[in-house]
Structure 1
């Protein structure tokens, strides 16, 4: 069966490696890679590039509307690996910090808008950090950090809110499992990967980063292999336990192993984060 995938952040690094692996598995696959800049090399004829500025909620909405405008399009995979390594302070795009837009808000908008096109057994993969977020440090009264912005705080809020939202989608789907909807939502921790993000570090840190990278990182292709294999395994495990007990969300580590100590959120907490997210995102779309 042909696999259709969208990979946002798929023009370099982990996303590009994941896109290439999906495309290489079968000539019948169709893989859309999206980001700001077209990669120098698109190695497979079943891959295509579509530009997207994933910091902009209005641009994401136009992108998803265009995809949905063609009747009958269905997705097997939605992979989102867009991100930035930056030491800059709060920098707003449409009222949202640019880093948080890439690491959290834009990912959630892509899921919301493309979910109607996702097949009943489709998979959604957020590549950010499904391992180290501290739920006790989530700032519930300032989720978008307009008053309390800091680099570590922004990173933690994005990690934890991504964790909460994969559980929210899985929980919302539970009522549909008897009708065959068993989509799986995954938040992946890639660990140390030698990607182009190192170029965004301050110039004085780059020599050290180049020296240490081969010692503490894996290649994007190795990371892609671990994550994609784990996604298939986790989805299969959920389906095997689908008699009203299936758990359709997973956090996985850099070797593809299931992270078993994640906080489980209640409906009120999930709805609080979801409502905040859509209020902010929809305002950003209007302003764009």
Structure 2
């Protein structure tokens, strides 16, 4: 079966491994990987590279407009987003007024989903790889969702994680209002993975992080298998319950006890998200 997949953050680490797994398992398919820099090696002939700075809302909009124009009749089976950064820096705003970490981990992901929804097949899978375990409505500062006033490393992490939780439920609820599609929205926790994400840490933290990797990490290939197989299994189970969103853990299993966000909470998060994104797009123009 021919599969069409778009993997943002697919130029290294988990995203690269997921792209390669889709390409290997479906040789007749097309896998597009996007990130800032082209990988030194693209191992499969059915993988294409397209450059994208996923921290820039303007570049994301230009990218999605171009993608839609060029491939309007070629629907996408998988939209996978793994882009991220591991940094100890404080709030670092992009030229668009968004913290760089939050732009990568949250706002850019949601803009990609919004703009590419018309390109997704009716049963497409949308997979966000960040942390599908730790988010909750109680971990948000509802009066400062973009953390302009109360930014901290832990608060930024919890805001991105929790708002991604909210938005997979928001997108699932929106499509169910019309009942026209069966797209499934997944927020996945990859666990400790032997990737190069720690390379941006200060030198004195790299040795401890490398030791942790050796003790606890799984390979990017193994993580990719868990993420993709778990998405497939959870989609089938969730659809039987009439649910079109899932949170999965590092083994691809359903995360138990995840909060179902209220309509009021979903509206607050989505309204905030589109306000920040659209303001950035107007600012950049």
Q: Answer whether TM exceeds 0.5 for this pair.
A: yes
Asked whether 1:24 is paired with 2:17, we answer no
Q: Distance in 1 between matches of 2:265 and 2:140?
A: 11
Deviation at 1:174, TM superposition (A): 1.2
How far is the alpha carbon of 1:287 from its aligned partner?
A: 1.7
Q: Distance in 2 between matches of 1:137 and 1:122?
A: 30
Over 3 Å off, 4+ runs: none
Task: Give the CA deviation at 1:134.
Answer: 4.0
Unaligned runs of 5+ in 2: none
Tell me the alpha carbon deviations over residues 78-99 of structure 1, each in whole angstroms, 9 at most, x when there is no partner: 0000000000111111110000
Q: CA RMSD in A?
A: 1.0
1:126 corresponds to which of 110, 128, 132: 128
* Corresponding position of 1:82: 83
- CA apart distance, 1:28: 1.2
- May I ask how many residue pairs the two structures share in their alignment? 282
Any conservation in 1 of the 2:238–2:246 contact (CA below 8 Å)? no
Q: Which residue of 1 aligns with 2:5?
A: 5
Partners of 1:86 and 1:5 lie apart in 2 by: 29
1:255 to 221, 230, 251: 251
- In the aligned structure 2, how far is the partner of 1:88 from the partner of 1:210? 20
DSSP 3-state at the match of 2:78? strand
Secondary structure of the corresponding residue to residue 229 of structure 1: helix
Match of 2:265 among 261, 265, 269: 269
Where does residue 151 of structure 2 map in the other structure? 149
Q: Deviations over 1:247-285 (max 9, x none)?
A: 000000001110121111111110111011001101111
User: Are the equivalent residues in 1 in contact too, given 2:234–2:253 (CA < 8 A)?
Assistant: no
Which position in structure 2 is the counterpart of 1:97?
99
Preserved CA contact (<8 Å) 2:78 2:126: yes
1:137, CA displacement in angstroms? 2.3
Partners in 1 of 2:163 and 2:254 — Cα distance?
A: 19
1:225-244 Cα distance to aligned partner (Å, 9 max, x none): 001001111112233x2xxx
Give 3-state SS (helix, strand or coil) of 1:34's partner: strand
Counterpart of 2:116 (choices 111, 114, 117) is: 114
Secondary structure of 1:132's counterpart equals coil
| TM-score (structure 1 length as normaliser) | 0.96
TM-score normalised to the size of structure 2?
Answer: 0.97
